[in-house]
Structure 1
Amino acid sequence: MELTSRWTAAAGTLVHSRAGGDAGPPLVLVHGLGVASPYWERTAAALAPWFRVHAPDLPGFGHTIGPREALDVHQLAEALADWMRTADAWPAVVVGNSMGCQITVDLAVCHPELVRRAVLVGPTIDRTAPGALSQVFRLVRNGFREPPRQFWIVARDYARAGLGRVLRTFLAAMAEPTESWYPRVSAPTLVVRGERDALVTAEWAARVTNALPHGGLVTLRGAAHTANQAAPEALARVVRVFAEEQSAEPAGGTP
């Protein structure tokens, strides 16, 4: 299914998003560090038959102009909240990847009415890696495990955002104490980890899951950090099943 571009006046700017599907509940896809909505295109297309899918470019990324200074995680979450209300994209199943998980958690804690369920795909920052350099090393190592298309998407989006903004946003993500927010997430939340993810260890994914009041864990075989690129159909199936569950305690598994 082809996604269409939309522009919404929100968060003090014109927010660009890609949308698809006209039936079912809203589902919002939150991109990671430096990238934007095309990052989600394959997963969004797989989910569009069952949801009203929205993949926004957060301020400063993709086609959405941001302020001169890079926004931190909380500011990006506030921008997302304003956009969701304006775009009538709530209450939603909110799916974040990588740093997008930090934004999703902040959103779920500060604006619980907007988040019906949350999915955290490769939740960062993994505190089992000491310091920023360890995170960068893991990121580089993970890059060799991703599909080739991922390199071109990241290169284009980083160039558009500017390396300075990407770096400042990365440092803000490193400073964000997201792990202290997990116990405050009231929405049922599913943690998804690719079994080949070099950035987020199995130990960290389990720690995040255990910290969530209503947490479950799924491992995607063969996927690395960006399961939305390597295994979009499998990820879409997991999200769809989780969104349709009636239980407040999502079950774990390894599809």
Structure 2
Amino acid sequence: MPDLRFHSRRVTARGVPTHDLHSDGPGGPPIVLIHGLAVSHRYLMPVARALAGRHPVLIPDLPGFGKSGKPDRAYDVSRHAEHLAAWLDVLGLPRVCVAGHSFGAEVAARLAVLRPDLIAAIVLASPTTDPAGRSRRALIGRFAVDLLVEQPWQAPVLARDVADARPWRVLATVGHSVRNAIEDDLRRLPVPPLVLGGALDPITPLRWRAEVAAMSGGVSVTIPSAAHNVLTTSARRSAAAITRHLRATTREWARSGTLPFA
């Protein structure tokens, strides 16, 4: 049954019809949730619902995924970030909190570096790719291990998303992920991020998340009993952490005398 708080929309950005679900909120920075490399808006709906009512929430499908247009080639990190910047420009939003999960965290970090004028806050949830596992074989192997500790009810949603994207696009995006040195972006972020992850995550383990926080000047928060898909399986606790981070960020903007998202 559809969630009546969320509305479907398609706009064209950089020549690609781009689908999103969005929900109005009481104020503060809109939260843009960016999905990972094999999925779509669908698996992020638990955290989107948990955040709805506190902030405006938008969940776009990246080009090639979900209900968005399907380019002939898989986009790399930079092209996805450029596309999202153009999409935000089309929508005419104020500065946003960009919250990326997994490969989406790589895209969020690149977007923040390319267009800091669009950014109010940053959340990097389960950010790939840990340099200790930065190869196709290693990353796919870690995803396989993660399947053993994820909640099984996610399987039908994930299977549908992979079918929509096509396996070739998923594999090509794995290649783009492992060729992207996220460290270069982490050291240049315009605001300190929240680095969020699950205690059981074998893809982005606590050690790597601590390094991400140290490089970016951010804070690391770990959700107990959650694996890689922390925004899906621990939506309420993730939403609470994101909300706390936005409150802290809002206080920092207020101290600077600027509230660009008010």
Which category describes the TM-score, using the shorter chain as reference length?
over 0.9
Higher mean displacement: 218-227 or 122-131: 122-131
Q: Which residue of 2 aligns with 1:196?
A: 200
Aligned equivalent of 1:235, options 214, 233, 238: 238
**AA partner of residue 41 (structure 1):** M
Q: Offset of 1:247 from its aligned partner?
A: 4.3
In structure 1, the residue matched to 2:23 is 20
Matched, 1:99 2:133: no
CA distance in structure 1 between the partners assigned to 2:96 and 2:139 by the alignment:
30
Matching residue within 20, 23, 30 for 2:34: 30
- Tell me the amino acid that sits aligned with residue 176 of structure 1: N
Could you give the per-residue CA deviations for residues 192-223 of structure 1, whole angstroms, max 9, x where no partner exists?
010010111111111111100x3111010111
TM-score normalised to structure 1 length = 0.93
Shift in Å, 1:47: 0.6
| Shift in Å, 1:149 | 2.5
The alpha-carbon distance between structure 1 residues 182 and 14, as it changes in their structure 2 partners (threshold 3 A), is same
SS in 2 for 1:54: strand
Q: Is it true that 1:77 corresponds to 2:81 in the alignment?
A: yes
Counterpart in 1 of 2:57?
Answer: 53
Number of residue pairs the alignment of both structures matches: 247
Q: Does 1:109 align with 2:113?
A: yes
Q: Quick one: distance in 2 between partners of 1:46 and 1:216?
A: 21
- Report deviation, 1:45: 0.9
Distance 1:95 1:23 in 2: 19
* CA distance in structure 2 between the partners assigned to 1:57 and 1:130 by the alignment: 25
TM-score normalised by structure 2 residue count: 0.91
Residues 131 and 14 of structure 1: is their aligned pair in 2 closer, same or farther, counting only changes over 3 Å?
Answer: closer
Q: AA paired with 1:92? A: V
Shift of 1:89: 3.3
Please tell me whether the aligned partners of residues 193 and 219 of structure 1 are also in contact (alpha carbons under 8 angstroms): yes
Say which is worse superposed, 104-113 or 174-183, in terms of deviation: 174-183
Q: What letter corresponds to residue 53 of structure 2 in structure 1?
A: P
Are residues 1:124 and 2:147 paired?
Answer: no
Corresponding residue SS for 2:47: helix
Shift, 1:86, TM fit: 1.0
- Map Cα deviations across residues 150-187 of structure 1 (whole Å, 9 max, x no partner): 22111111111111111111101111111122110011
TM-superposed CA distance for 1:39, in Å, is 1.5
Which letter maps to 1:221? P
1:73 deviation in Å?
0.7
Residue 244, structure 1, aligned to residue 232, structure 2: no
- CA distance, structure 2, for counterparts of residue 88 and residue 143 of structure 1: 39
Q: Conserved in 2, the CA contact under 8 Å of 1:43 and 1:233?
A: yes
Structure 2 alignment gaps of length 5 or more: 254-262
Any conservation in 2 of the 1:54–1:89 contact (CA below 8 Å)? Answer: no
SS of the residue 1:128 aligns to: helix
CA distance in 1, matches of 2:47, 2:211: 26
Aligned to 2:14: 11
Specify the SS of the correspondent of 1:7: strand
- Report how far residue 130 of structure 1 moved: 5.2
Give how far 1:54 is off. Answer: 0.2
Give distance in 2, aligned partners of 1:130 and 1:181: 16
| Paired amino acid for 1:169 | T
Q: Pick from 89, 96, 113: which aligns with 2:93?
A: 89
CA contact (8 A) 1:70 1:165 kept: yes
Q: Does structure 1 conserve the Cα–Cα contact (< 8 Å) formed by 2:198 and 2:228?
A: yes
> Secondary structure of the equivalent of 1:179?
helix
Structure 1 stretches of 4+ with a deviation exceeding 6 A read none
Query: Does residue 93 of structure 2 align to residue 66 of structure 1?
Result: no
Quick one: which of 157, 160, 180 aligns to 1:156? 160
CA-based RMSD of the aligned residues comes to 1.3
